[in-house]
Structure 1
Amino acid sequence: MEWKGRRQSGNVEDARGSGPVRGGMGGNPFGRGGGFRIPTGGGGRGGGMSIGTIIFLVVIYFILKMMGIDLLQVMDGGQTSPSPSGYEQSQGTTQGSAEEEERKAFVSTVLAETEDTWNGIFKAGGETYEEPKLVLFRDSINSACGMASAATGPFYCPGDHKVYLDMAFFDELAQRFDAAGDFAEAYVVAHEVGHHVQNLLGILPKVNAQRQSMSEADSNQMSVRVELQADCFAGIWGKYTEQKGLLEQGDLEEALNAATQIGDDTLQKRTQGYVVPESFNHGTSEQRAAWFKRGFDSGKLSACDTFKGNI
């Protein structure tokens, strides 16, 4: 994707060095009516410790402290000085590194391109597009949909109209899901922005209200339709990007491969060796790739009605 030198969005909030950031209400971001995420093959939220466990660990810490053993120094290998950026750097791509700063610039550019696309579409329909914020975080974040960890993958929270992204997911996308490439990464951002478009169009509030009274199986099926429509909306963005002459050879294939690799059936086969169709909540690999391609081929909202007929 030809992205360097293009406009970067001013709607990116960098919370990578600030720890968990509070954004409003608590609760599970991935329950019914919560956030909408890129699946990672794991659970919706990271695990947590009980109060009893925390108290026990605190007691152990102070006992060792009285014995002259500083557990924090032991765990840190004796290094307690903060890094120049103001926090302990983890292994892999780190904040402030050239690679991660380039990724931030890339994400900001992709977000700007989605703004151009949806501003134009909404304006053509006589409406005004509300541009979402995109929050970059590391490890964990507290959004208006509740606390989430990096393990949940990128997600959109309807409660605060923000997309949340730990950019380490891009490494996972390439290494764990075999979906490398800048346009594969752009697809992830465009998909979450697609959920924002659904929210502005009133689709998410309507669906979330309906899901409250549905069985788990019916709720999962409704979730699949929501996710496939977000894929289709991402395809519309891809179409407008192509019309600008920004796509390079192989870009479309990267996005289609990414959609395929994070299909429910493919993820379940990879993680547990078998599939449970009634538990699907994002769509099969074939469905995800097909709906992205439908949006890409048509460039029209009318082609993305996943709530009618078979999907």
Structure 2
Amino acid sequence: NFAYTIIRYGNHDASDLGTNSGFVTPINDYPANQNEFSELYYTYQPSGKWNWLTLGLGQFPIYNFDGTDYDANQQVNFLNDSLAQNASASYTQAGVGAYAQITPNNRWSFAFGGQDATNVDAVSVRFNHLDEKHYTTFGYAAYTPTIKGVGDVEISILVYNQPGVTAQPQTTNGWSLNLSQDIGKKLSLFARVNEVSGSVEEIRQSWVLGGVYNNPLNRNSLDQIGLAYAYNKLDEAAVGEKLNHKAEQIIEAYWAWGIGDMLTITPDVQMYINPGLNQKSDYGFATSLRATVFF
């Protein structure tokens, strides 16, 4: 498994827009220039009677165990940071380590593991800090039944411990509960609740609810409409300045328009209610137009 992300902006990045508008919650998952080496790991699944076990070794992200099909990928779904990932997550972007995943049947899955806690931003693959014995540990459980006549269900929970390291001195504990429900072949609803201890993350707790409707016009399988809401409790100590509002609310809507089977063009609008640092207005907006190419 390999994944390397390069984010580059021109004159102004998304964090500039957020700062100028008084937003605490970033308008997207990558608000500034960034390099991230999130995946370089090997997975092994034995055959026969041990095929319920999967082992992973190398550099991997814990966020692979945190999210649903519709709130974990800003390239094709929602842009806002709290709708594209766990906005209160304090675990590292990725780190060298290992995990075990146990799947006793097609409904249940469990995983646990640990990784180097010092590689907070995961700019590179690092082995030279493993002897410092600072390890991020996590546990995960998922239940994926099917409701007859309705659709597939996914319920998962992640818990983790991030020890204090040089780049992030405060030890934190966090959890994330994710749910999704397919209703028929086109409509899917999802929800997420996540929280973290300490004052490392600017968002201490986040509540998310949303839905997507696939191929609404029966025109192209890549077409998709999305609508979601987030309520984010802010941490003034982590923000580092006095808040005008203790919580931000975000409503985001998008329409992905498929062109052939390789391209989508997606207009998107976000409405902020009670921006945390905006002294002049209780509302704010962010609009975007993105293109996504599928290979």
Same fold, judged at TM 0.5 (above): no
Scaled to the shorter chain, the TM-score interval is under 0.3
Q: Greater helix percent: which structure? A: 1
State TM-score, norm by structure 2: 0.26
Q: Which has the higher contact order (CA 8 A, sep 6+)?
A: 1
- Kindly indicate which of the two structures has a greater share of residues assigned to strand: 2
